Structure 1
Amino acid sequence: MTLALAILDIALSAAPWLLLGLTIAGLIKALVPETSLQRWIGGSGVASVARAAIIGAPLPLCSCGAIPTALALHRGGADRGPTTAFLIGTPGIGIDSLTITYALLGPFMALARGVSAVLTAIATGLLVGRTRPTTTPAPASSCVGRCSDGDCGGKGSSSQTPGPLSNRLAAGLGYAFSDILDDISLWLLVGLLVAGALIALVPPQQLAGLGSGLGAMLVMAVIGIPMYLCATAATPIAAGLLLAGVSPGTVLVFLIAAPVTSLATLGVFRREMGNRALMAYLTGILISTVALGLGVDALVGWWALDIPLQVAQVQELLPTWLEALALIILVVLAVRPLRRRLAARLVLPNSGQT
């Protein structure tokens, strides 16, 4: 398989599911107000940490974009543990990345990724919650650095458009197909290129020999923690690793570790909560992801699962014409001049303002 065909094949498989995920993300943006988040996540204890992880999981926020929301929740009364769980659970898996995971990695890996992201958030939140403040919180800020080629303002914003439901829905969908798509499009393209190269150019046995076991998982975690990749953009790379011979558990470590941290996250987290909390944060992510990766490999072996076969079966669910149409729509929406022309015709809120 040539490089171009490999990239096109994985892009076609992902496009319809990514469109679906972005649509659902826009609906969540329109229907879930920040005041409700503060009420659900406020307080301390195991229940609050678990709620923060579960509530944050489907929200359409990247690692950098989750920072302002998490700080606002923390300073609005949420304890250190729930704030940390929200900060990890939110970028660890979103509805858009979950749908593309189902398309590119199959149902087992989609379920494993969702559950693992929540468990990592809970475990790390509980660990950070046991630390005590050692520094004075810095003034609230949006982000140190950038989410991709756009700043954090779009994805970090939790405000809603006031007015009738129709206005909120239109604004939410405009947000999803402008701010979110702009934030992930460059990294998604990079992910598709890397995935295509892994599938087309790297002999499977070369990665298969290095792609399982505790050592490989530790390497993936150490590489993934300082890296910034949003959950959606990390998925094509994970698919390339999986199809090139890396074990599902090792791929899972990369999928969880890479999206939940960035240098911006680490810098703001340290200023807000101190060095001890930062060490607990990194330790919790490292231990949790590796333990979950080992568990997933054990389950795959125990149940004799054929993950590549699951991927092939999912990709056969949709006709090629539908995949091609979805890819064309995504490309049109991702290219700003084309999107502005479309927005001028449809009068979509916020679609042409980025």
Structure 2
Amino acid sequence: MLFLSHFYQLFLESAPWFIFGLALAGIMKTCIPINWMNQQLGGHDIKTTVKAAFIGAPLPLCSCGVIPAAMGLRRAGASKAATSSFLVSTPETGIDSISVSYVMLGPFMALVRPIAAIFSAILAGLFVNSLDNQSKSSYSVDDKPTDNTSSCCASSNSIMPKSAHNTAANSSKDKNTSNSCCSINKKQQNNVAPNSCCSTQKSNRMNNAAQKIQKGLRFSATNLVDDISMWLIIGIGFAALVQAYLPSGFLAQWGDGILAMLIMVIISIPMYICATASTPIAAGLLLAGVSPGAVLVFMMAGPATNIATLGVIGKEMGKKTLLGYLIGVIGGALMCGYLINFLAAQFHIEIQPQIGPEHALLPYWLVLSSATLLAFLIGLSFIKKAKNTLK
């Protein structure tokens, strides 16, 4: 009963922030075009690597979802360094995991976590770039065939030179603007009926925005919940188990130095876990006496170094890229973990799970309704997985 009581309280406390993070993550998923990301990450310099880390950090993709997205960027012309940077920052942090980190680990860890993820991603990209002697991506845009006429999706725009394409686009834009009723002067606008094409276009834009938001929320309620529900329950259960039965400081015998952090790396590599689901496990580790630095290492290495990701990197980008990736992720995690322990000791920063105070700031009806909604979504996810297993 003690375990169930702690589990219920932890679930109740994290539910509002988890739902909030899911909603933001879904909206971001539908509002950030993949074509725009491909254009931003198509270069091969350090700037592109840094940009990839910042673009990937807030995205709502877990360890499994980031793999196809990253390979899509790679085939669209992104360098190995940029792809690696994206592969690190995206699963290590996100809008949803930051919100859950705030309530379960406190504001300091919620702030440190994305900063450490971005640093680790940039470091991995730099190592990959230094170990890779290729100056040109094997999937470079320049290497792609220019003759797309055999494709049913090909168009004249896809094979048009960039300058000509820009000229044509500008010409088309000018033509559309000049012919649009929205280009009439102010005097003429006074005589336009309320149901003119201008109001119709505005209405269409509003409808499109509403549809995008609806699509994003549906994505969060299905795909995202499917990806993280199992590990979320395991994580909350682990934290509840620690609170209920594990003596305080039991795991602190590992110490708070490099040894404890290396143990966290070894534990995290075989785990297939995302940033959000790793948060309650991290809270349990903190409660058990593990140092904040070692906990941060677990939250960084766990989502970025699972077996599936490492296998894809080795197959798609080569062993040198895989080596640089591992050096960057593990080295960045260890450096950030050591720095966090140093800062906590130097400035007497109290880093403990903050469950409780944030709960009091929220109305009980909101907390209870959020927990009910989250339990419903997780239940649907489990039922769907069970049906797929039986088929």
Quickly name the TM-score band, shorter chain normalised: 0.7 to 0.9
Structure 2 distance, partners of 1:330, 1:272, is 37
Secondary structure in structure 2 of the residue aligned to 1:223: helix
Structure 1 segments (4+ residues) deviating >3 Å? 309-316, 337-340
The answer as to whether partners of 2:305 and 2:326 remain within 8 angstroms in 1 is no
Give 5+ residue unaligned stretches, structure 1.
Answer: 139-162, 341-354
1:14-63 per-position Cα deviation (integer Å, ceiling 9, x unaligned)? 10000000000111012101011111222022211111011101111111
Structure 2 distance, partners of 1:272, 1:27, is 30
Q: How does 1:241-320 map to 2 (within 5 A)?
A: 241-308=285-352, 310-320=354-364
Is it true that 1:31 corresponds to 2:31 in the alignment? yes
Is it true that 1:117 corresponds to 2:117 in the alignment? yes
Structure 2 distance, partners of 1:309, 1:102, is 9
Structure 1 distance, partners of 2:312, 2:352, is 39
Instruction: Tell me the amino acid that sits aligned with residue 225 of structure 1.
Output: I
Secondary structure in structure 1 of the residue aligned to 2:250: helix
Give RMSD over aligned pairs.
Answer: 2.2
Instruction: Tell me the amino acid that sits aligned with residue 4 of structure 1.
Output: L
Displacement after TM superposition at 1:263 (Å): 1.3
Q: How does 1:157-306 map to 2 (within 5 A)?
A: 164-306=208-350
Displacement after TM superposition at 1:132 (Å): 2.6
Secondary structure in structure 1 of the residue aligned to 2:105: helix
Instruction: Tell me the amino acid that sits aligned with residue 46 of structure 1.
Output: I
Secondary structure in structure 2 of the residue aligned to 1:308: coil
Is it true that 1:42 corresponds to 2:39 in the alignment? no
User: Which residue in the other structure is 2:183 paired with?
Assistant: none
Structure 2 distance, partners of 1:176, 1:220, is 29
The answer as to whether partners of 1:30 and 1:168 remain within 8 angstroms in 2 is yes
The answer as to whether partners of 2:13 and 2:355 remain within 8 angstroms in 1 is no
The answer as to whether partners of 2:251 and 2:288 remain within 8 angstroms in 1 is yes
1:192-251 per-position Cα deviation (integer Å, ceiling 9, x unaligned)? 111111121111121122241110001101221232111111110100111121111111
The answer as to whether partners of 2:297 and 2:334 remain within 8 angstroms in 1 is yes
Larger radius of gyration: 2
User: Which residue in the other structure is 1:331 paired with?
Assistant: 375
User: Which residue in the other structure is 2:59 paired with?
Assistant: 59
Displacement after TM superposition at 1:324 (Å): 1.9
Q: How does 1:66-105 map to 2 (within 5 A)?
A: 66-105=66-105
User: Which residue in the other structure is 1:151 paired with?
Assistant: none
Structure 1 distance, partners of 2:374, 2:222, is 11
Secondary structure in structure 2 of the residue aligned to 1:307: coil
Structure 2 distance, partners of 1:234, 1:291, is 20
The answer as to whether partners of 1:106 and 1:314 remain within 8 angstroms in 2 is no
Identity fraction in percent: 42
Displacement after TM superposition at 1:334 (Å): 2.0
Shift of the 47–304 alpha-carbon distance from structure 1 to 2, 3 Å rule, reads same
Q: Relative to structure 2, which stretch is displaced further, 301-310 or 261-270?
A: 301-310
Displacement after TM superposition at 1:315 (Å): 3.9
Structure 2 distance, partners of 1:321, 1:210, is 42
The answer as to whether partners of 1:133 and 1:273 remain within 8 angstroms in 2 is no
Displacement after TM superposition at 1:75 (Å): 1.4
Instruction: Tell me the amino acid that sits aligned with residue 75 of structure 1.
Output: R
Shift of the 117–3 alpha-carbon distance from structure 1 to 2, 3 Å rule, reads same
The answer as to whether partners of 1:332 and 1:338 remain within 8 angstroms in 2 is no
Structure 2 distance, partners of 1:102, 1:32, is 25
Shift of the 118–244 alpha-carbon distance from structure 1 to 2, 3 Å rule, reads same
Structure 2 distance, partners of 1:98, 1:309, is 14
1:112-156 per-position Cα deviation (integer Å, ceiling 9, x unaligned)? 11111111111011101222379x989xxxxxxxxxxxxxxxxxx
